[in-house]
Amino acid sequence: MFELSPFTREGREQLWNDLINRINSLQADMNRLFGDAMTRWDAGIQSMKPFFTETEKYFRQFIPSVNIKETEKEIVVTAELPGLEKKDITITHTDSALVIEGEKKYEKKEEKEKVHIMESAYGSFRRVIALPQEIDFSKIDATFKNGVLTVVLPKTEKARENVRKIEVKEA
């Protein structure tokens, strides 16, 4: 019975060897993982080819940043749309949402150009912003200047009248 126990000399050696083999296997996997990445990086720098492949560029989808502020009289939505023009943007609304859509296109200039680093994101986008029911849809105003879209959504008179202060009591 003592011979079957892993705490015999042979059992301990076998456990130790299994552990060492697993650690070595993990080390080899990590070396392979990081080695491949560094080899790709070095190859990209040396040959001056882009680091990312054609399929990887789709992971960098353009999603504009949006800020929403509210005052007593209106809700103001601003969207940062660098590199776009007014003609590239479509704004629509329903009774419950404001929809900003468009596309930031990549213009390839020349076959011979070499891209060293590509951090800009491109592609079509669609942002849907939930709206309260108290918007006066007939008076919505939108402007586009220096790559920033500003949409002003005025509140109805009823919405402005329904604001009431709530007293906070000490517990």
**pLDDT value for 28:** 80
Strand-pairing partners, residue 107, are none
Which tokens sit at 65? 């940043």
Write out the chain's pLDDT in tens, 171 residues. Answer: 455 555 566 667 777 778 888 888 888 888 777 766 655 555 544 444 444 444 444 446 788 899 999 888 899 999 999 989 999 999 999 888 899 999 888 776 666 777 777 777 788 889 998 887 788 888 999 999 999 999 999 988 876 666 677 788 888
Q: What is the pLDDT of residue 37?
A: 60
Tell me the DSSP string of 86-153: GGGEEEEE-SSEEEEEEEE------TT---S-----BEEEEEEEE--TTB-GGG-EEEEETTEEEEEE
C-alpha separations of 64 from 3, 23, 106, 118, 168 in Å: 68, 45, 16, 18, 38
* Phi then psi dihedrals of residue 13, to 5 deg: -65, -40
- Cα–Cα distance for residue pair 47/20, rounded to 1 Å: 39
| Residue 77 near residue 150 (C-beta atoms within 8 A) | yes
Per-residue model confidence (pLDDT) at position 154? 93
